[in-house]
Structure 1
Amino acid sequence: MMYIDNILFAIILLAGIGFFAKNVKKLSRNIKLGHDVDRSDNPSARWNNMAMVALGQSKMVKRPIAGFLHIIVYVGFIIINLEVLEIIIDGLFGTHRVFSGMGSFYGFLIGSFEILAVLVLAAVLVFWARRNILKLQRFASSDLKGAPKKDADTILYFEIVLMSLFLIMNATDLSFQALNSGNIISKHINPWFASLDIVQVEMIERIAWWLHIIGILIFLNYLYYSKHLHILLAFPNTYFADLNAKGKFDNVASVTKEVKLMMDPNADPFAAQPVDENAVPAKFGASDVTDLNWVQLLNAYTCTECGRCTSSCPANQTGKKLSPRKIMMDTRDRLEEVGKNIDANKGVFVPDGKSLLNDYITTEELWACTSCNACVEECPVNISPLSIIMDMRRYLVMEQSAAPQSLNAMMTNIENNGAPWQYNQMDRLNWKDEN
């Protein structure tokens, strides 16, 4: 019977890890659909970014209550799951609490885990109340509804169940309770089962043990379909984040060259210019996810849907349709749609008549953006919705000449008058005569 349990455990473990690996491969494939961008510069600054923002949660604590609670859940959930190593060894080799031979240090570890489990439960309950009772505005806005809204609650329920199973597993483990070391919390839960006989208590412990490890494997594989994918992707996302000063946009080399030529008084506009095919992109800007770069697609998968970007967006605050959170969610949803198309057609994308622009993100949303960088500043994992907005605007202007009338008028004035205003160049200095 013992060997059957070990074999069953090994099959479940391999299936869970195998399915996760398959999804990671698909995730990597989808991100690589974006065009290449070099983010290998200044590795020391990038490592520091990752250490401070992803590991240190430095941007989370800008909102102290949510930040503190998030740190409890983050640290607690990660540390408690260190016990998974012991569970895996016990499951594969038929041992029981194989690390208990470490003596008092083992008791200290498990005791710490139990305290953290209670803290995680408390923090998760507060998070649930903020979403479902207090209904904070950024969790109740129209862009967060349906599956994304349910997903957040599902994650909270997962964490409640897993932490509860951990404590019940310890409370009903009679050999562990007999050690009287490390059972700081579970010893107070153990009396709940006093009316049961030993066989029943041992059965509950085994059921809790199996459900705990199976629950962890289900949670691991649910990550791909959940906003909690940021648990894994926050680290590479912060490492590969743009290190340039906020507000600095990338330039198209071919356009820059043309502008410099126009600005050079000694240049001959009729002289033949050498053609650099690599300098001219196939498309200016982006109309679909494959026009974006791979870091922007990584951003989309990393989005935590916390809504800090949207709650700080001045356009959104004044009633405009724009929500930076929705921009990231739409990009991810479209990327998933493209990925499923490729899977269904044996590795080749078959045009589906859809695009990120118009089918997911409207021009009204794009032109509502003030490009103030508030969303970039607020994001706890260094995501840049603004970069996607600006690339899509670039497509509208340079490929479709579809800018708003006021912007078209300004560009016409610059072209004709050398200034944004509708004044003749000969009259540009008349202001000095008015004083």
Structure 2
Amino acid sequence: MLKTFRLGGVHPHDYKISRDAAIRVFDVPQTVTIPLGQHIGAPATATVQKGDKVRVGDVIGTATGFVSANIHSSVSGTVTSVDTVPDGANLRKLSVTIAVEGDEWNPEIDRADTLIKECTLEPKEIIARIAAAGIVGLGGATFPTQVKLSVPPGKVAEALIINGVECEPYLTADYRLMMERGEELLVGCEILMRALGVEECYIGIENNKPEAIKHLNDILAGGSYHKGIRVVPLKMRYPQGGEKQLIAAIMKREVPSGALPIDVGAVVQNVGTTYAVYQAVQKRRPIVDRVVTVTGKSLAHPSNLLVRIGTPISSLIEACGGMPEDTGKVINGGPMMGRAMANIEAPVTKGTSGVLLMDEKSSVRGTEMPCISCAKCVDVCPMGLEPYLISKLSRLGRYDRLERERTADCIECGCCSFTCPSNLPLLDYIRLGKAETMKLIRARQAQAK
């Protein structure tokens, strides 16, 4: 019987229309704009200024504090500005703009396509290379990877879980990586296991990707990989890719409210992140590009593109056939957790897993009506929350009560809004309430120090 998590969940159509589109290397743009804050935590501090020459892979921003990440140039050329630039939401973020001149790479980077399997580095050396390369969670969360691998005193990592679920509709970047870079992915698993000192690694993949399940199992059967690596087929159910849901499905352990995966002995890494770890440790290659799914029902050529960080999203759309006439919204990410873009000239960042062009019919919300107290949002919440109540409290500004209702536990999956028969924007208000609640919690923690 296929494994899955216990609470809630929904079954949206997967619309994996780009699943058979092999990864295509996207042209290097004439100019890139690279934000210094592409991760959870403190933005990096610029180490370059206008007029400086840079190569692909050179550091242009250094991590500020423990929860932060280095930023590297994705191109070679001249820095034309270090200034605030609008992001996808039209919010100005400090960024480095570089005019491209050729394609010269930092000589420390191994650009050969040869597989390097053996890793003899000590755990601290592995983590140091990952930190130096600016590796973050590429599934969208962008949490600095070196932080996840630095197990706190008193905690013990028992298993590594690789998230190959990609349950968000439309997105296929991780699927293509599993199909095209399976060996590198498995070496990345071994490296992460070595860094954590664990003997078990589970690669969770939903059963709507049978080719990926078979492909990785075939590689494991035919190669000399760690015996503790196993592929785990999972039932198709959104949001199976949530960390806590994945742990519940595979390890049958529930992460308590306010706790982290490491509290139940698990460390979860995304497929894209694991591949990036392989590149960082074995090739000394930082994150200078990533695979982005560009898709939509009306798009002429849905694609999976290997794109340099800082490339304008508008150029990706043009390369896939241009903006369809019936486009209602451009979503950064997928339809469930992604956010509508106000500015498609914004750059691709480490967290850009997909660009979805939604047609007008699909993107228009239904007319909002009064809540009918059906409790469907409660039934589908994978965190066991009461979305209708949290949303209402957020509207009323009852932030003291929101904390008691465990608003901080919300994973913002969108199941509540997806299932609401009254078309209430539940997730929108929950996000607002969660942001304010987290501010209160951080302020209280700061006062306690």
Which of the five TM-score ranges fits, normalised by the shorter chain? under 0.3
- TM-score scaled by length of structure 2: 0.23
TM-score, normalising length from structure 1?
A: 0.24
Structure with the larger strand share: 2
**Greater C-alpha radius of gyration:** 1
